[in-house]
Amino acid sequence: MSQLSYKAGQLHIESNNLSALAEQFGTPLYVYSKSQILANWQKFRAFWPSQHKLCYAVKANSNLAILQLLAQHGAWFDIVSGGELKRVLAAGGSANQVVFSGVAKSEAEIRFALEKGIACFNVESAAELERIEQVARALKTRAPVSLRVNPDVDAKTHPYISTGLKANKFGIAINDAMAVFRRAHTLNHIELLGADCHIGSQIMSDAPFLDAAKRMFKLLERLQEEAIELSHLDLGGGFGVDYEGHATLDLENYLQGVIDLAHDYPKLTLMLEPGRAIVGDAGVLISKVEYIKRSDDKQFVLVDAGMNDLMRPSLYQAWHDIVPVRELTGVADGIVDVVGPVCETGCFLGHARHLNVNADDLIAIKHAGAYGFTMASNYNTRVRPAEVLVENDRAWLIRERETFDDLIRGERLIAEE
């Protein structure tokens, strides 16, 4: 994380002292670097011609301020629910710059998106295509659609975030795709715009991306032979973040490879859906050490952030680097398990970490900008953290910490007769 560094023995994000932020806003606390988000966005833009689109994957981090920031810098958006569309609109984005993915879109979500003027639905099944046709007919309009094809490419990623194999729930099997394209081409209330694929998340090699792209361009050739012309090809997202410092994705090589494949399609708009790659390394989760617990076999660092605040380690066995906010020099690190307060053995942030901290110290969990707060829950009746956005020495509270009243709003006691 380039915006994270020690200054005078204290960890800073940009020019903000994390200890001072924790004192002001409390812990656990998510903190995001505005400069890092924009730098990541510009890294994509530098290699992606302006006629093509970058659709930020809202599910990675859906805070309104971050959506607002990206909308101001020309982002389109990839959503997976009607709620995410409402978020984009609330942040100042436009529905006509939104693509709607997801395997189980409800009739109400489809109707709402059509009424707002969605740019395109990424259709995930033949049944969904028929539902969109029915809703569009009732609204006396035409629905813009792209068919999401499952290219059967193994992205070599965690099985929970692999989406491009024929065994996964996502998309239309590539062997069935032509029949569904033909059907879409004939429907009166469907405007067939494009083809789409997405093979998974946290991919660190350009090889599976390019493999999928080549399969999709072959599909375009077959469609052209049947006079089915598409205006765009959406190749999804899944660009990996280097959580452990071991590997990097050659983004420039991949983007140039896609542009080369599209050489014979000068009118074709290419679309990508980066999410984690924009916000993942821009955020940290600050947590306070509550206790140090020692046993014969282990030493535990018990902190106030748990699996309800950051689910990735428990769900995916994901690695996040954990560092002390106060720099210690000349002191040997111990080997500890960093665990949270949730009443589950699976509530941990890191196993066997080299760390030297004491009770009341602060730690920072790095690369927490993506799939951190968006996956957070209120399990164990725990309030979700506050979120802060920083730039240079400025800090904005972009989400207040929840209260107990927030948690029970809408619940009702049974009235006694």
Residues annotated within the binding site for substrate are 276, 312, 316, 344, 371
343 is catalytic: yes
CA dihedral 188, 191, 194, 195 (to 10 degrees): -40
Which phi and psi (to 5°) does residue 348 adopt?
-145, 155
Give the residue from 141, 146, 225, 138 showing the smallest Cα distance to 184.
146
**E strand spans, 39-119:** 53-57, 76-79, 98-100
- Which segments are annotated as binding site? 238, 273-276, 312, 316, 344, 371
Secondary structure class of 302 (helix, strand, coil): strand
- Which segments are annotated as binding site for pyridoxal 5'-phosphate? 238, 273-276, 371
350 within 8 A of 337, measured Cβ to Cβ: yes
Which entry of 55, 120, 343, 347 is annotated as an active-site residue?
A: 343
Q: Which residues contact 246 (CB under 8 A, 6 or more apart)?
A: none
Give the residue from 62, 79, 69 showing the smallest Cα distance to 36.
69
CA dihedral 31, 34, 37, 43 (to 10 degrees): -150
Q: Which residues contact 236 (CB under 8 A, 6 or more apart)?
A: 196, 197, 198, 199, 272, 273
Helix or strand run (H / E) with residue 214:
helix 206-225
Helix or strand run (H / E) with residue 129:
helix 126-138
* Radius of gyration over every alpha carbon of the chain, rounded to an integer in angstroms: 23
Q: What do you get for the CA distance between the two ends of the chain, in Å?
A: 60
Annotated catalytic residues are 343
